[in-house]
A and B are shown apart, each in its own frame.
Chain A
Amino acid sequence: MSPLLRTALQVFLSLLFAPFAWGLIRFLKSQLSGRSGVSPFVSYAQIIAGFRKENLIPPMSSWAFTGTPYVVLAASVFLVFSLPLMTLGGWASPFSQFLVFIGVLALADTFRIFGAIDAGGVIGGMGASRQMVITALSLPTLVLIFSAYALKAGTTTIDGMLMSGLTPFGQPFLLLVVIAFILIALAENGRYPVDNPETSLELTMIGEALTFSYSGPYLAMLEYAAMIRLLVFMMLLANMIFPFGLLLPNGSFQSILVMILCTLLKISIAAGLTALLESTIAKMRFYRLQEYLASAFFIALAGLALVLVTEQIL
């Protein structure tokens, strides 16, 4: 199969599965708290309904407000386009440089913050100040995480890192890196214990506060972008731990089926674990987030140190 076809397939499936993954977490969380919960497919309806609604734009806002949904959505689409989520060695794999990945995340976060401040709303400004703290503390940790990986794998593309076949079971440093990555993934996607994506209390919001002034199609775009980003982190994490079920360059048409099944399995496991985590722990006080993010940083640093030490010895 040609790399272009495989990349196209990955983009298509990611965009298709993203709302499902999001809805699945919500559904499983309801189940765990003893409610029947809404179907995981409701998030598709949520996106479609958003596009049909009126788009209200605050009168004082500028291009930063209107541009944000496009930038954020484009950033998310770029991630599913370039990263090895379902296929290795895809057409766009050279773009999966880890610094590009982190840069695109930073771009999206920056624009979300711009959009929130630009609307001039009270809650948006509050959410922006909180998101700045989280982004500023979590992205450097991502640099450390992938630096450690890159050193060991001898390549700076995430595609190449997964191709190298390193697993946390054979490489202890990777275990630390994966733990740090989980902590950062929760923070970057606004999940527990950093943020509560389902909160309706204005004063405790972070992620929701950023989209507070958006409505209709723009809100749907931002929500869709968040769903895609969640899927990206889920799949990356799953592939780091279990790099199987990925579509390889020499893959047959049968392996497409295997890939789809494995993807759904990975999504289900990741969603189940997220839901379990969110049902059992309390949200952290905002002032304790530095401790949380600093621990992620030092775990990643330990992983990097371990790589450097073992490289020296061997």
Chain B
Amino acid sequence: MSLKNLLSHLPSVVVVEDRTDICSASVKREHFTGALDELVNCRTLAKTTTALYSLGLALSHLYVTDERKAHGVFVVHALLHDDTAASWLHLFTELPGDDPTYPSATLFIMNAQWFERYNADMFGVIPLDHPDLRRLAHHANMPFDVHPLRKDFLQGTELESEDIPYPVRQVTGEGVHEIGIGPVHHRVAESVHYRLSTTGERIMALEVKPFFKHKGVEKLVEGRKPIDALPFLERLGGDSAISHALAFSQAIESVEETVVSQRSRGIRSFLNECERVIMHVEDLSNIAGIGAGYNGMKRGFLLKERLMTAAEAFCGNRFLRGLIVPGGIARDVTDKEVEALRDVFVDVIDDMTTYAKRALHSDGLRDRLELCGVLKKDVAKVYGAVGLVARASGVDRDVRRDHPYAAYDRFEPRVITHVSGDAFARFKLRADELIDSRRLLIDLSAHLGGGEAKVPCHPALGLGVSAAESGRGEMLYAVHMKDGLLERVAIRGASFSNWPLLHELIPTSVLSDFPLCCRSLGLSVAGSDL
């Protein structure tokens, strides 16, 4: 059953465009939240549709575009993923430019809450009856009523420096101790403010605020050609150049359904796996380092350094930047180069697997990891957790399999899930996924496929959506093109979906487990603070 059939059960929704990968539908603003609620929570649909949809779709992204110039409206877009048909449902509604409000979806769909707060900050689009509409992405120095992503806000505008305190939720009572940490941390940790309320060692409440260094990349890339925007996007998350470039390039290709060659798809998958391996090695080292001691951590970092040196020899930079472009890959790489890279990665995976095994057999480390930061499956679903974190809690979802891209249709990844959802499960899952990546790297490098490296790809108008699975989870890009230029790039980093999980994991755990919980989620600030 296609999305179109499903939508026919909702009288308020009008299907505008039905492509193989995206089904676009419009809805009036008063019915927007109702339709979303119906699609996600299946209140009445379950009775009328097949069992396939009885579980409901999940909200992946909720973003806004400013179309006041052309049509005098703001448009709110919701992206829901349909894993059974490997397609995206794009539901949008228009809000008049002088009254950008709509009934909040957060009341029915929990993971809409950060999206709606972000949109309120960036566009001034107000979700009515939102339970917690404090500013999210704006920090204290940002004046009120400044909405940087609106088209009439000019890039480079000098703003007054304000001092508007962020109203942190406070817990009061006898013996409650409030601990504020950050946003300035030791070493090279990213800027996050944590506010913990504790009684003794036990944490009662947590407020996390990762948005302090907003880079404004979404604004920077507007009005550029895709190929010019790519360098900005690759540098968004630091260590996730491949997944950003891949999701973006695929989104651009999906606008006009450009088909890229078999060979470039093979190399893309190969690089995607390489990046996942680097991230997993780093995260495994970090978790072992915090749980057990710096010994395991430094050994792991040494391995990561080998990977990054190999990456530099392969493409001239340590982060695998500049390889993936819309239309294919920037230059064709020889099989020999790929094999050289593969050999280093396979070697390192073998070493890391040995270390991870040793770590898993260490009583002390297991004692720290087990039952630390337990994320239950239903909670993971409600919060919209993505990637490895969700899989460690038993959510069977992996974009590589559910929305096959690059060469993952030819080489299907083994999707591993764990049930316990604690830091131990997340540690073990990373080690397990490394072994699967090893298999994929070997298979992919042997059958890269043929074809030219790059095909022309210059879409003029339309919407493109694509996701790529990074080590942290799904990177989602929605690209609106106009006259061959980027009109709006709506990015949802994997960590944006996983940050709010801390609010669930941390209360009830103890203080000294806090760093371990954070690390085991593998969160990135740069990748979510765009």
Contact = CB atoms under 8 A, between A and B. Distances in A.
Contacts, number: 81
Contacts of B362: 281-282
B451 interface: no
A266 interface: no
A284 B177 contact: no
B410 interface: no
Contact of B515 (A126, A129, A204, A278): A204
Contacts of A193: 364
A122 B180 contact: yes
Nearest to A133: B201
B28 interface: no
A60 interface: no
Interface stretch (B120-128, B290-298, B331-339, B463-471): B290-298
Given A29-B295, A33-B299, A198-B294, A286 B512 contact: yes
A250 interface: no
A126 B365 contact: no
Contacts of A129: 200
A221 B242 CA distance: 49
B367 A282 contact: yes
Interface of B is mostly: helix
Contacts of B510: 285-287
Nearest to A206: B512
Interface in A10-47: 29, 32-35
A279 interface: yes
A233 B382 CA distance: 53
Contacts of B234: none
Given A129-B200, A285-B368, A285-B513, A203 B298 contact: no
B511 A288 contact: no
Nearest to A280: B295
Contacts of B365: 282
B295 A203 contact: no
Interface in B473-529: 510-515
Given A129-B200, A201-B515, A203-B512, A34 B367 contact: no
A80 B413 CA distance: 63
Q: Size class of B's contact patch?
A: 20 to 34
A281 B187 CA distance: 24
A123 B513 CA distance: 15
Contacts of A32: 295
Contacts of A196: 293
A122 B178 contact: yes
A254 interface: no
Given A33-B299, A122-B177, A278 B364 contact: no
B512 A285 contact: yes
B379 to A, nearest CB: 23
Q: How large is the interface on A (under 10, 10 to 19, 20 to 34, 35 or more residues)?
A: 20 to 34
B512 A282 contact: no
B19 interface: no
Given A32-B295, A282-B291, A282-B365, A125 B181 contact: no
B340 interface: no
Interface in A156-170: none
B295 A33 contact: yes
A34 B181 contact: no
Given A282-B367, A287-B201, A203 B293 contact: no
Nearest to B298: A33
B169 interface: no
A173 B275 CA distance: 57
B302 interface: yes
Nearest to A129: B200
B19 to A, nearest CB: 49
A203 B177 contact: no
B364 A279 contact: no
A274 to B, nearest CB: 13
Interface in B202-217: none
Contacts of A53: none
B69 interface: no
Given A285-B512, A287-B201, A201 B290 contact: yes
Given A123-B179, A196-B293, A282 B368 contact: yes
A126 B294 contact: no
A282 B372 CA distance: 15
A120 to B, nearest CB: 12
B298 A35 contact: yes
Given A34-B302, A282-B362, A283-B292, A203 B367 contact: no
B179 A126 contact: yes
A193 to B, nearest CB: 7
B47 interface: no
A279 B293 contact: yes
A196 B186 CA distance: 16
A33 B292 CA distance: 13
Interface string A29-71: 1001111000000000000000000000000000000000000
A57 to B, nearest CB: 21
Interface in B272-304: 290-299, 302
Contacts of A202: 181
A186 B513 CA distance: 21
A192 to B, nearest CB: 7
A2 interface: no
Contact of A203 (B178, B187, B302, B511): B511
A200 B293 contact: no
A33 B179 CA distance: 33
A311 to B, nearest CB: 38
A34 B295 CA distance: 8
Contacts of A200: 186-187
A276 to B, nearest CB: 10
B364 A282 contact: yes
Given A33-B298, A129-B200, A200-B186, A288 B293 contact: no
12 contacts: A29-B294, A29-B295, A34-B299, A122-B178, A201-B515, A204-B511, A278-B295, A280-B295, A282-B291, A282-B363, A284-B364, A284-B367
Given A32-B295, A282-B362, A285-B513, 11 more contacts: A122-B177, A122-B180, A201-B290, A203-B181, A203-B514, A282-B291, A283-B368, A284-B364, A285-B368, A286-B510, A286-B511
